[in-house]
Chains A and B, each alone.
Chain A
Amino acid sequence: MAKVKRGKVVRYNKWGYIFLIPFVAVYVLFQLIPLFRTFYYSFFENYRSGLTQIGPNFIGFGNYAKMLSNPDLWMYTKNTLIMWVLGFVPQIIISLLLGAWFSDPSLRLKGQRFFKTVIYLPNLIMASAFAMLFFTLFSDGGPINEMLMQIGVLKEPYQFLTNVWSTRGLVALMNFLMWFGNTTILLMAGMMGIDTSLFEAAEVDGATSTQVFFKITLPLLKPILIYVMITSLIGGLQMFDVPQILTNGKGDPMRSSMTLIMYLNNHLYSKNYGMSGALSVMLFIITGILSLIVFKFSNGKQDK
């Protein structure tokens, strides 16, 4: 009897594994193998000069030494993080606010569906198309400058893309616009998952809506918040398309808006797989560490 039962369990397991095969196969082929090959390539001098292939010659940690001795790497890391934070902070605030409003049945908001769709729409536009649009809008002789001059705010065109903070600001603004809808929907989903009896109980006890938000919604939302935070951090560190298109791949002015991946992309001009491999590995490690910090930090609080 017992034997038959165990057999059944095994048979169910088998189906589980079978259903996993497509994912695992695709994952191993397109993610895991390239990941390990990147590690492997990063130990070689391997680039192309014109049509002449140099290497691959094994040079140990040579690429890493060269990369780390270059002070610019930290500048690019800083740029990336600054632009991410600039975009993420307003994004999370607005999303929490909108999420709270949308998920609060007592507000009886009209046209919810419409607005939920509309705020998600910017995400459906390609990042590159969006960046092209902003590039044109904010160019020296573009419509924004013309408008500002006509209503008398500016005397002469403001060169948005040649000033450090306006460029970074535009990148952050675009990332904010593209992602706040997505974050709102995620947070809203989390909020709707909270047991409504808790809110009712709070109401009965006479809690204000601020208290409800900070004492009930936020703590219970933490798992989703951590998820949003980590995915956004990973996405932020890999920021590429928006600043790349907006600054024409240059990261102007003086590379103050050049992100780590844009720097990696520079190495691909000469097919420098060694250096770009080393950079990828370092980015992998940085991402891992930062994600761990976020995770530990948020979990640690919960233990109290």
Chain B
Amino acid sequence: MKKKVLSALLTTAMLASMLVGCGSSNEAPAASTDAAPAASTEAKTEAPASTEAAEPAAAEEGKVFNIYCWNEEFKSRLTDHYPGYEEVDGTTGKIGDITVKWNITPSDDNAYQNNLDETLLKQADAAADDKIDLFLIEADYALKYVDTDYTMPVKDLGITDADLANQYQYTKDVVTDSNGNLKGVSWQGCPGVLIYNREAAKAVLGTDDPAEVQKSVSDWDTFTATAEKMKAGGYNMVSSVNDTYRVYSNNVSGKWVQDGKIVIDDNLMKWVDDSKKMVDAKETGTFDLWSDDWSKGFYPDGKVFCYFGPAWLINFSMAADTDGSIANQGGWGATEGPQGFFWGGTWICGATGTDNASLVKDIILKMTADEDIMKEIVVADDDFVNNKPAMEAMAADTSYQSKVLGGQNPLAMFCAGAEKIDLSNLSAYDQGCNEEFQHAMKNYFDGKASLDDALDLFYKGVEEKYPELTH
């Protein structure tokens, strides 16, 4: 009897732990089905408008069009603005008689790239309907894909330089491979600005006029001086040191990796010095971007003076839909800030081996180079699109106002910023290097390590990610 009780208990313990195991593996699909209905209802509202049939696809083209991306953004752009796109359900759509399959993997923990890598490496052997036709990439790791044969030069798709003449140069630089071939196209420009809390500006600087505020943040020295005033006024200058990181890192004088060696640029060391001073003076925190602590400043109680970000941060990420947030009350202002920078942006690449080349071409042209659609996107989605004439026209238009920014029209600032961005110092290792650098320096800022130890930690982290590098 006793033995039976014992064995029964042991079995239940074992079964229970097995169930726990099953639970965790089931979690992923559950999460993705969660997200789907919300997206489809949101997209459905616009769908009926598209009665124009798509251009009849050439007979030899595939019937399945696979798109790889990491969120719903491109999908909703395509649903809303591509003529002839019909939403079928959360993960499929139709263009004419071609089925569009969305393969959406979130980019957390590198999951998107891991998935994309595995699929791309099998691209040559995959059945025509399983081949990736089109995928999206970000600037941080663009070169990883662009500098390989897995992406198609856009001119092989039949897209000419003249088609893309209105696009900002930096968006082309990001996706130009080492042989000078353009391998991707973006519909967005992501020049960033300094987004400040108007209330804080009034309280501490005595004005919330963008031109006047700019005088207090025009370079890094005045920026740090203003940080002291903000501290005295009860505000943190920025939410986290990582807010300023991109502004420094976009203005470096050399690449992260030169001849297989990791090189830390002077401007990044300046970020370390400036940030350490601010953290020690308790003028900012060391939170990770997107953490709860970081986004507290989106609300008045968070007491944060400014964030750095492009149009999409202002429009989508600062809790504009939540009652009581600063964005909801139109309490932000925008000004150029100490240095120009960009953040994010999505590039469309055609995958080598696609069986729908003409559709890839058409999507790229419609979504990135058609001026009418570009204007539609600005109006409907508040995006900053990659089209100079369209943006300049909008910038001059006094009727265009950003609600989040309290009625300010920030587009002129973005236009000027987009022209100034210089991306000649991108490397294929940027993503890993930037992440590891910010993470290692957090230890230094928090006082958990000396600068040398933190730098060692940085090298260690990068060399684990890229075993071929040394320092």
Contact residues of A with B, CB < 8 Å?
47-54, 72, 120, 123-124, 126-128, 136, 139-142, 159, 162-164, 182, 185-186, 188-190, 192-193, 248-250, 252-255, 266-267, 269-270, 272, 275
Contacts and interface: CB of A to CB of B under 8 A. Distances in A.
A192 B120 contact: no
Contact of A123 (B17, B27, B449): B17
Nearest to A188: B9
Interface of B: 2-3, 5-6, 9-10, 13, 16-17, 19-20, 23-24, 27, 109-110, 117, 120-121, 144-145, 147-148, 150, 285-288, 291-293, 296, 428, 432, 439, 442-443, 446, 448-449, 453-454, 457, 460-461, 464-468
A252 B285 contact: no
A248 B460 CA distance: 17
A120 B443 contact: no
A185 B9 contact: yes
A52 B292 contact: no
B449 A269 contact: no
Given A120-B16, A139-B291, A270-B464, A51 B296 contact: no
26 contacts: A47-B467, A51-B144, A123-B17, A123-B20, A126-B23, A126-B24, A128-B24, A140-B287, A141-B296, A159-B446, A163-B448, A190-B6, A192-B6, A248-B288, A249-B109, A252-B442, A253-B446, A254-B453, A254-B454, A266-B464, A266-B465, A267-B464, A270-B464, A272-B464, A272-B467, A275-B467
Given A51-B120, A162-B446, A162-B448, 18 more contacts: A49-B466, A50-B144, A50-B147, A50-B148, A50-B428, A123-B20, A124-B19, A126-B24, A136-B292, A189-B6, A193-B3, A252-B448, A254-B449, A254-B453, A266-B464, A267-B464, A270-B466, A270-B467
Given A51-B121, A54-B468, A186 B13 contact: yes
- A-B pairs, top 6 by smallest CB distance, nearest first, are A253-B448, A189-B9, A50-B144, A189-B6, A162-B446, A266-B464
Contacts, number: 106
Given A255-B457, A270-B466, A140 B293 contact: yes
Contact of B13 (A127, A185, A267): A185
B24 A269 contact: no
Contacts of B293: 139-141
Contacts of B13: 182, 185-186
Nearest to B141: A50
A192 B291 contact: no
Given A47-B467, A51-B117, A189 B448 contact: no
Nearest to A48: B117
A271 B467 CA distance: 10
B9 A139 contact: no
B309 to A, nearest CB: 21
Nearest to B288: A248
Contacts of B24: 126-128
A152 B51 CA distance: 65
Nearest to B442: A252
Given A51-B120, A139-B292, A139-B293, A124 B448 contact: no
Nearest to B117: A51
A105 to B, nearest CB: 13
Contacts of A162: 286, 442, 446, 448
Contacts of B16: 120, 123-124
B85 to A, nearest CB: 30
A250 B465 CA distance: 13
Given A162-B448, A253-B448, A192 B465 contact: no
A226 to B, nearest CB: 15
A275 B467 CA distance: 10
A190 B3 CA distance: 9
Contacts of A52: 148
A248 B292 CA distance: 14
A123 B288 CA distance: 29
A72 B468 contact: no
Contacts of A249: 109
A255 B293 CA distance: 22
A58 to B, nearest CB: 16
Contacts of A126: 20, 23-24, 27
Contacts of A141: 292-293, 296
Contacts of A140: 285, 287, 293
Contacts of A72: 460
A254 B460 CA distance: 11
A2 B361 CA distance: 84
Contacts of B2: 192-193
A253 B449 contact: yes
Contacts of A189: 5-6, 9-10
Contacts of A127: 24
Contacts of A51: 117, 120-121, 144-145, 148, 150
Contacts of A163: 448
Nearest to A248: B288
A136 B121 CA distance: 38
Nearest to A195: B2
A148 to B, nearest CB: 16
A141 B303 CA distance: 13
Nearest to A252: B443
Contacts of A185: 9, 13
A52 B293 CA distance: 38
A186 B443 contact: no
Contacts of A190: 6
A54 B260 CA distance: 15
B6 A250 contact: no
Most B CB atoms within 10 A — which of A52, A128, A140? A140
B52 to A, nearest CB: 38
Contact of A49 (B6, B19, B457, B468): B468
A185 B12 CA distance: 10
B465 A269 contact: yes
B108 to A, nearest CB: 10
A239 to B, nearest CB: 15
A185 B150 CA distance: 55
A253 B453 CA distance: 12
Given A51-B117, A254-B457, A186 B467 contact: no
Contacts of B286: 162
A270 B292 contact: no
Nearest to A126: B24
A136 to B, nearest CB: 7
Contacts of B457: 254-255
Nearest to B145: A51
A272 B469 CA distance: 14
A238 to B, nearest CB: 14
B214 to A, nearest CB: 30
Contact of B6 (A53, A193, A254): A193
